[in-house]
Amino acid sequence: MRVSQGKSVGLGLALVSAFAFGGSGVAAKPLIEAGLAPLEVVWLRVAGAALVMLPVAWRHRHLVLRRPALLVGFGLLAVAGVQACYFAALSRIPVGVALLVEYLAPALVLGWVRFVQRRPVTRAAALGVVLAAGGLACVVEVWSGLSFDAVGLLLALGAACCQVGYFVLSDQGSDGADPADPLGVIAYGLLVGTAVLTVVARPWRMDWSLLAAHTDMNGTQVPGWLLLGWIVLIATVVAYVFGVVSVRRLSPQVAGVVACLEAVIATVLAWVLLGEHLSAPQVVGGAVVLLGAFIAQSSAPKAPSGPLAGGAGAEVTELSAGRTAS
């Protein structure tokens, strides 16, 4: 009974995490359209979340000496890199399309395993890569000569590549005998990301008055500070914490399935709140992308020792439970 209750709680937490992460782009896009640069919105999100997570960072301060490479890699790739590319893509292409392109990451990881590490991959994993690529072709409507901004698509692909870099780093730097606590890594990753983004975004030049004004969300006026509060507290802090806790209560495979709902939630919210519609072929293509991403992620081969390759190991899965802050 307790086991089933624990799984039920874990499933609920995973659903909340997916919903929270899925709403980040919908809340960020009106701020970007109101005049804030994508990098400024990213800085506000990361810095605000880092401030909230300071107590967690202090509790796990030993990680600074034990796992400095992992902390820096998480901060540069999974925090600063993914979010900067993703939010920049939002300024040019629809939320759902940007997130679906980002979901190529599990398939790209399999390419790293096969062609760089020269390790065999299963036929199911190869099928997942093919499905993800084919689904993406439908999402961007290649038969129309790419119906979306090419730069926006490249930025979304950059977000996927940053996720790949982090997965590879985690696979190579993790230690099964002494794993790093995922919440501690997230907290320090946010701090590292804040430091890097402060130099790049230069927030002292930001027009802070935009946060006090109202922004347009498909005809509805919403306070800028309310959108920022959602991005920081719900779409980052709650999403990460709930995602990590849910993975500890569920199996990585189940958590991976629920995480795939993030793209669905983001697309539906963008349709309802922003008026962004996807065509029937794009919806079908998006479903194929998610199916391929799940197959590719769940079919990653086992390494000779240590965690599973491609981000499917327990530590990597916990750290990336919410798709690394999309």
Least Cα distance to 78 among 101, 58, 102 occurs for: 102
Contact status, residue 247 vs residue 317, Cβ threshold 8 Å: yes
Report pLDDT for 310: 30
Average pLDDT taken over every residue of the chain: 79
- Rounded alpha-carbon distances, angstroms, from residue 218 to 94, 274, 275: 13, 5, 6
Q: What is the pLDDT of residues 196-238, one digit of tens each?
A: 999 999 999 999 999 999 999 988 899 999 999 999 999 999 9
Report pLDDT for 66: 87
Predicted confidence (pLDDT) at residue 96 exceeds the cutoff of 60: yes
More confident residue, 53 or 110: 53
Q: What is the pLDDT of residues 8-64, one digit of tens each?
A: 777 788 788 888 888 888 999 999 999 999 999 999 999 999 999 999 999 999 999
Report pLDDT for 40: 94
SS3 of 322, please? Answer: coil
- Cβ-Cβ contacts under 8 Å for 157 (sequence gap 6 or more): 101, 104
